[in-house]
Structures are given as structure tokens and as C-alpha cells.
Amino acid sequence: MFLARLRQTGYVQSLRKIPSRARRTLSEYRIYAYFAVIGPGLIAANAGNDASGIATYSSVGAAFGYTMLWAFIPMAISLIIVQEMCVRMGIVTGQGLADLIREQFGVRWTAFIMIAILIANTGVIISEFVGIAQASELFGVSRYFAIPLAAAFIWWLVVKGTHRRVEKVFLAMSLVFLSYPISAFLAHPDWSEAASGFVHPNFSSDPFYLFALIALIGTTITPFMQVYVQSSVVEKGLDKEDLPTARADVIGGTLFGIVIAAFIVISTAATLHVAGITVIDSAATAAAALTPIAGRYATYLFAIGLFGAAMLAMGVLPLATAYSLSEALGFEKGVSRSFREAPIFLGIFTTLLIIGSIVALIPGIPQIRLLLFTQCINGLLLPVILFAILKLANNREIMGEYRNHPALNIIAFATALVVSSLSILLIGKTIADMF
């Protein structure tokens, strides 16, 4: 927006006539303007690398070594396409995803989608609290201390803070993911074999391999990410002049998140897979198993990443749920709002934190069954969300000249069909395993 005002006043066009010192000042303002836009794409992509995501990536590395790294390349392309459409819709329409779904598809579809989002996100929020408990216990801290403290911090940050402050803290939390590349280097992987895993797709008809591939994709592209990123750019007040920078944020954030996920696979492939440990039931189990192989520092780095990932997702998931429900019901929303201004929005956020923390403190909670159930709900919801996004992004009435181009539609529809088909297969496999 700042750059748009500069263009309107003619400052950018006459940049060459400005003295060098003034040009440097203008360049600094340009950088500040870019940093003012960046955030939603990076946060959404990293929130996808939550506790359950880390458990999935660890399981893939332990079970299959480097052979499934190739899947991250098409996943990165798919996620960039989906996230870009949501960011573009948010900037052009000034409305969140749930807002547009309610207006364009009616109350019944909106109610179905919102109920599914509420159920699935509540389950995943509980799993994030469990992830915090497991990570803290790896450092010898009781979950009965860590969970209430973490919940109180996230609640205070969101309810008492502004959107800018919340986003800054979430971005700072994203830096914790850098512990995974360090952990991977400490594991001394075979880098030539890892590189080969990226460029040589290795398919298998083994049911477990197919299930792992489907779970990998389902973990990387989730409905709450699309809801959050669109609502976030709306709340930031970005306009059409900010679209190129917002796209850069989506691309950069997605690539960062995908690279981190790949490093998790590499670290467990170089340690657990080589040692013959092929079954991992949680991210904490993977971290603990690293100690005799890669040393305690690798374990601590892995645990730090798990704690930071769970904290970030624990903030983003309740916010995405509160955004979607408030938009669907037509209530006031926004992180910068007070309880008096947005009681439903902040009430939903607070309730989800309370439920998640209480359930996670219950001894012996069946985390794996819970994750399978929420994964099933997300798998059912994802095709609906993807095709709704595609229909909205092609709507001439609301998108105008910013609707999807034909070439983008071909890639986007192919992505939606493949991801939806895999999600349906994952649902079938999950239900079959339950019985």
C-alpha cells in the first residue's frame, strides 16, 4: 500500500532524479513495505508442520529412508497454487474464505464445512497440546506445568495483543524450525542418496507405501491453512498493489516449510532407518530414538523443533477455526479486536484452547486414534474446500480480471483431483485400519 501511494505521487517514476542518499532512503521504505506484507504465507506453511506432521515425516524417513523425498516437489507446487488462490481472493474481495462460501454456496454447504472444520481442528488442537507435553517431558518438564503455561501464553498473546504483534511472534516461532536442518547435519546423512531421492521418483504398490504417500500429502495440504492465510491477508488490509509481494510471501513460505519437512525426513532416514527402527508412533518417539544414534544434541534440537511447531500450530489452528466460524455466522472478527468488540471470535478461540489443554492432560489419551479420526475428517473436507476455492477463484463477478487464467486452471484442477483422490483413498484406508 505504501508503494502504491508512492507511485500515485510520482516518486517512483522520478527515482533517478533523486539524489543517491534520498534513493537509499526510498529503498529502505520499499524494504519496510515488503516486510509489512510478508507473514501470512510463511506462518500458514509452517503451521502445517505441526506435531502430527512431524510424526508423519519422521515415520516416512524411518520406514522408507530417502526414497519418498521426490514427493515434496509436487507437494510444494500444489501448495503454492492453492495458497496463492486464497491470498488473491482475500486481497481482491476483502473477505475471508468462509465469508465467500456462505455468500456463494448458501447456508447448508457452509454449515457442513464449518462443522467439519470445527471437529477436525479441535482434534488437531488437542494433538498439538499433546505434542507440547511430549516435547517438554523430553527436557524433564512435567506436562501439568508446560500445557497450562503454553495455553496461557498463547491466550494472552492473541487476546491482549494486536495483529501485528501476534504475527511477529508467530514469525519468530517459525525460526525454531531451523533446528531440524541442524539436526539433519548432525545425523551425517548420505547426501548423494538424499539428492537422488529428490530427482528419482520411486513408486511402489505396497499398501503401506501408498498409505504413507497419501498421509504425507494430506499432512502438507490441510484446510485450516487455506482459511488462515486468506483471513490473515484480509485482516492485514492488503490491497491489489500488495499482491505481488503477497505471492512472494506464499512462495517463500511454502518453500521454507517444505524444506524443513524434507530435513525431518532426511534426519530420521539417516538415523532410524539405517538402524532398522522403522515404526514411529509419535514425533517424541522419533526424537528419543535419535539419542543412541545421533547423540543427545540431535534429540534436543528435534524436541525444540517439536515444541515450537506445536506452539505455532496451537496458535494458528484456534485462530483459523475462530475466523471461519465467525465469518460463516457473520460475527465481528479480528485479532486486534477486544472481547467487547468480537466476543464470539475470541470466545471460540478461548474455548478451543481450554478444551485442548484439558483433554491433553487426561492420562493415557489415545493420541494415534485421535489423529486418525481427525485425519479422516480433514480428508473428507479437503476435496470440498479445494473445489470451492477453484469455483470462487474463477468467479468473474467477485474476482473480475483477477480470476484464474486457463493455464493456471489446468494445473489447479489437476492438483485438486489428485489430492482429492488421495484423500478419499486415505479415508478408506483409515476406516479399514480402525475395524
Residue range 292-316, pLDDT digits in tens: 666 677 778 888 888 888 888 888 8
- Residue that wins the pLDDT comparison between 214 and 59: 59
The C-alpha cell that represents 338 in the structure block: 477486544
Query: Is 294 a member of any domain?
Result: yes
Instruction: Give 169's pLDDT tier (boundaries 50, 70, 90).
Output: confident
Query: Is 359 a member of any domain?
Result: yes
- For range 84-97, the mean pLDDT: 90
Instruction: Give 79's pLDDT tier (boundaries 50, 70, 90).
Output: confident
Closest C-alpha to 94, from 322, 387, 402? 402
Q: Establish how many alpha carbons lie within 13 A of residue 101's alpha carbon, considering only the half-sphere containing its beta carbon.
A: 29
Q: Kindly compute the dihedral angle of the four CA atoms of residues 422, 427, 433, 435, in this order, to the nearest 10 degrees.
A: -150
- Predicted pLDDT of residue 280: 75
Query: Is 291 a member of any domain?
Result: yes
Q: How far apart are CA 135 and CA 279, in angstroms?
A: 19
Q: In the chain, what percentage of residues exceed pLDDT 70?
A: 83
- For range 133-144, the mean pLDDT: 86
Residue with the three cell numbers 484423500? 423
Q: Which of 15-24, 90-99, 139-148, 361-370 is the least confident region?
A: 15-24
Exposure string (b/e) for 251-262, b if CB count within 10 Å is 16 or more? bebbebbbebbb
The C-alpha cell that represents 140 in the structure block: 524433564
Q: Give the 3-state secondary structure of residue 331.
A: coil
Whether the Cβ atoms of residue 317 and residue 128 lie closer than 8 Å to each other? yes
Q: How far apart are CA 383 and CA 167, in angstroms?
A: 29
Q: Residue 69: which domain range?
A: 48-434
- Residue that wins the pLDDT comparison between 238 and 100: 100
What is the CATH classification number for the domain harbouring 97?
Answer: 1.20.1740.10
For 170-187, the pLDDT digits (tens) are: 878 888 888 888 888 888
The C-alpha cell that represents 340 in the structure block: 467487547
The model carries a pTM of 0.81
For the chain, what is the domain count?
A: 1
Closest C-alpha to 41, from 258, 214, 198? 258
**Exposure of 434 by Cβ count < 10 A (0-12 exposed, 13-18 middle, 19+ buried)?**
exposed
The C-alpha cell that represents 105 in the structure block: 454456496
Query: Is 38 a member of any domain?
Result: no
Query: Is 167 a member of any domain?
Result: yes
- Residue that wins the pLDDT comparison between 205 and 198: 198
- Report CA torsion sign: 380, 384, 390, 392: negative
Instruction: Give 134's pLDDT tier (boundaries 50, 70, 90).
Output: confident
**Exposure of 8 by Cβ count < 10 A (0-12 exposed, 13-18 middle, 19+ buried)?**
exposed
Q: How far apart are CA 356 and CA 118, in angstroms?
A: 12
Q: Which of 38-42, 99-103, 348-352 is the least confident region?
A: 38-42
Query: Is 4 a member of any domain?
Result: no
Query: Is 7 a member of any domain?
Result: no
Residue with the three cell numbers 534513493? 23
- Predicted pLDDT of residue 221: 78
Maximum pairwise Cα distance, the chain = 74
Instruction: Give 34's pLDDT tier (boundaries 50, 70, 90).
Output: very low
Query: Is 427 a member of any domain?
Result: yes
For 392-413, the pLDDT digits (tens) are: 999 888 988 888 888 888 888 8
For 360-389, the pLDDT digits (tens) are: 888 776 665 666 566 666 666 777 888 888
The C-alpha cell that represents 292 in the structure block: 543412541
